């Protein structure tokens, strides 16, 4: 895969329901200006993490490599916990994405049960991933292209309306430029606390950008492709996320957005796009399947990488003639279907717990990446390495990894002050502790016995 595929894989994992659906909630809680600030902070943290990731991915260009970075730079226990955290993140997300896609399909096919669509989409994504990594990269490129086109359309048409044009003959009444940013309650209608709390959710909305590191082992010329893809991804995410949020916040009053309708539908309807609801229904389904496609790829590579390190059953490292870890892919799909079942038949609280664990895990993985970079660079210099000889080096070391780690840690601490997200700590911390305990009492003794 080349830079074109890497960029779209990363963007495919990021641009999803967090932008198309949940952005309305972010604006309603933080206010128009606060939402833009929150997404700017999120983009900044993504840049910090991605610079650390790029240096590591070039140093260790192996498929599904997050846990390899941590194991080599920090310790085997941290590597083990990182791998299972990331696998859990996507395994849970796959099931929820299938469920959401099936529910959205009922708009057009109300007589077809949701579980039928779930199986159809599961078979589709499994087939795409089982053919070849090149086919996966190509399919993800086109999946992501649909979402990118929708975001560009929102920015262009919404921006034109804000400048006083009526792009598609809609009725009048649009605010001009940033009139909506000054609300009756001031610039921050819910105080700056609203911005802080939504920043935590924004971090999760940007999750998926780290997929560039997962695909590093299947990339042509990593030293050139990965930094190029990293820079392009961060710039495009900044434009698309912040640009889209700014247009939505400036077009729709903050107290009229929420989770009952995609703000994209609201904006497209306001500027006169015909069949806006159906168009965006299709786009959101594509977004969910794209994220599921990236997640299944990530899960399989992580399990294959774990098996190669002797930290998962050896059968998971088997490859097909095309180089696909088919057994690991199958197990990951089973994990996705298991979480799908739980999200359908279990109480709503169980589903919310699974989602909160995913958010906790993503931030935990980002912290692992930045800490791995810090210890990797320090060991490289200590062993006599010349920093100037590195094909790519993160700037301003050690400020970048320390700042990124600190911001991620602050976001986790802040979760405790938000009742809607606090469950992530209650379940995420014990999960990490269990990973460390299992590694200490099972994996380490087995390694010593083999030695």
3-state SS string over the chain? CCHHHHHHHHHHHHCCHHHHCCHHHHHHHHHHHHHHHHHHHHHHHHHHHHHHHHHHHHHCCCCCCHHHHHHHHCCHHHHHHHHHHHHHHHHHHHHHHHHHHHHHHCCCCCCCCHHHHHHHHHHHHHHHHHHCHHHHHHHHHHHHHHHHHHHHHHHHHHHHHHCCCCCCCCCCCCCCCCHHHCECCECCCCHHHHHHHHHHHHHHHCCCCCHHHHCHHHCCCHHHHHHHHHHHHHHHHHHHHHHHHHHHHHHCCHHHCCCCCCHHHHHHHHCCCCCHHHHHHHHHHHHHHHHHHHHHHHHHHHHHHHHHCCCCCHHHHCCCCCCCCHHHHHHHHHHHHHHHHHHHHCCHHHHHHHHHHHHHHHHHHHHHHHHHHHHHHHHHHHCCCCHHHCCCCCCCCCHHHHHHHHHHHHHHHHHCCCCCCCHHHHHHHHHHHHHHHHHHHHHHHHHHHHC
Residue 229 near residue 392 (C-beta atoms within 8 A): no
Residue 315, pLDDT above cutoff 80: yes
Question: Rounded mean pLDDT of the chain?
Answer: 79
Cα separation, 298 vs 65, in Å, equals 10
pTM of the model: 0.80
Place 2 in a pLDDT band, splitting at 50, 70 and 90: low
Q: Minimum mean pLDDT among 26-30, 173-177, 344-348, 412-416: which range?
A: 344-348
pLDDT cut 70: percent of the chain above it: 82
**Facing residues of 186 across strands?**
183
Looking at residue 364, its pLDDT comes to 92
Neighbour count for residue 26 (Cβ, 10 Å): 30
Mean pLDDT of 344-361: 64
Place of tokens 């590191």: 213
CB 292 within 8 A of CB 124: no
CB 309 within 8 A of CB 67: yes
Average pLDDT over residues 100-121: 84
Count the residues in the chain: 451
Look at residue 348 in the predicted model and tell me its pLDDT.
47
pLDDT of residue 369: 93
Mean pLDDT of the region 392-410: 92
What pLDDT does residue 137 have? Answer: 62
pLDDT of residue 366: 92
The answer to whether the beta carbons of residues 34 and 188 sit under 8 Å apart is yes
pLDDT value at 432 more than 60: yes
Kindly tell me if the per-residue pLDDT of 178 is higher than 70.
yes
Inter-axis angle of helices 276-308 and 66-73, nearest 10: 40
Give dist(CA 195, CA 267) in Å, integer. 23
Mean pLDDT of 350-377: 83
- In tens, the pLDDT along 156-171 reads 888 888 887 766 555 5
Residue 296 has a pLDDT of: 84
Q: Which of 106-110, 161-165, 314-318, 405-409 has the highest mean pLDDT?
A: 405-409
Residue closest to 317 by CA, chosen among 341, 298, 301: 301
Helix (H, G, I), strand (E, B) or coil at 186: strand
* CB proximity list for 226: less than 8 A, separation 6 or greater: 6, 54, 57, 58, 212, 216, 219, 392
Is there a contact between 374 and 402 (Cβ–Cβ < 8 Å)? yes
Predicted local distance difference test score (pLDDT) of residue 451: 63
pLDDT of residue 347: 39
pLDDT at 433 over 90: yes
For the chain, which domains are there? 3-84+130-283+356-444 (1.20.1740.10)
Percent share of the chain, pLDDT over 90: 12
Using one digit for the tens of pLDDT, what is the confidence trace for 181-195?
877 777 777 777 777
Backbone angles phi, psi at 69, to 5 degrees: -55, -50
Separation of alpha carbons 316 and 83, rounded Å: 14
Residue of higher predicted confidence among 251 and 262: 251
Compute CA distances 205 → 23, 62, 85, 308, 317, whole Å: 9, 26, 17, 31, 31
């Amino acid at each position: 895969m080349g830079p074109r595929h890497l960029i779209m894989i990363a963007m495919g994992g990021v641009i999803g329901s967090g932008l198309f659906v949940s952005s309305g909630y972010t604006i309603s809680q933080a206010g128009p200006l606060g939402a833009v600030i929150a997404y700017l902070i999120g983009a900044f943290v993504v840049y910090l993490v991605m610079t650390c990731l790029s240096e590591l991915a070039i140093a260790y260009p192996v498929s599904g490599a997050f846990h390899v970075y941590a194991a080599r730079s920090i310790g085997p226990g941290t590597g083990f916990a990182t791998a299972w955290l990331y696998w859990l993140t996507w395994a849970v997300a796959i099931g929820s994405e299938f469920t959401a896609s099936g529910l959205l399909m009922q708009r057009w096919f109300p007589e077809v049960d949701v579980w039928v669509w779930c199986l159809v989409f599961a078979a589709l994504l499994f087939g795409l991933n089982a053919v070849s990594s090149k086919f996966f990269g190509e399919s993800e490129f086109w999946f992501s292209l649909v979402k990118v086109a929708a975001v560009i359309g929102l920015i262009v048409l919404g921006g034109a309306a804000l400048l006083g044009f009526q792009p598609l003959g809609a009725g009048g009444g649009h605010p001009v430029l940033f009139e909506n940013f000054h609300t009756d309650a001031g610039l921050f209608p819910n105080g700056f606390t609203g911005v802080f709390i939504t920043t935590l959710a924004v971090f999760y909305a940007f999750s998926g950008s780290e997929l560039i590191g997962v695909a590093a082992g299947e990339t042509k010329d990593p030293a050139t492709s990965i930094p190029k893809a990293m820079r392009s991804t961060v710039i495009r995410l900044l434009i698309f996320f912040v640009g889209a949020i700014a247009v939505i916040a400036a077009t729709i009053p903050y107290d009229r957005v929420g989770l009952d309708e995609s703000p994209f539908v609201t904006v497209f309807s306001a500027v006169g796009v015909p069949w806006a609801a159906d168009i965006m229904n299709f786009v959101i389904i594509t977004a969910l399947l794209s994220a599921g496609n990236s997640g299944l790829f990530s899960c399989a590579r992580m399990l294959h990488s774990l098996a190669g390190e002797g930290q998962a059953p050896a059968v998971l490292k088997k490859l097909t003639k095309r180089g696909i870890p088919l057994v690991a892919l199958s197990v990951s799909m089973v994990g996705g279907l298991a979480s799908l079942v739980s999200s359908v038949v279990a109480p709503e609280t169980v589903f919310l717990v699974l989602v909160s664990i995913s958010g906790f895990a993503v931030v935990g993985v980002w912290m692992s990446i930045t800490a791995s970079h810090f210890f990797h660079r320090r060991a490289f210099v200590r062993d006599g390495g010349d920093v100037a000889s590195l094909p790519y080096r993160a700037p301003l070391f050690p400020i970048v990894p320390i700042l990124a780690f600190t911001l991620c840690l602050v976001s986790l601490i802040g979760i405790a002050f938000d009742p809607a997200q606090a469950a992530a700590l209650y379940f995420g911390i014990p999960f990490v502790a269990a990973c460390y305990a299992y590694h200490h009492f099972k994996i380490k003794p087995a390694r010593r016995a083999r030695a």
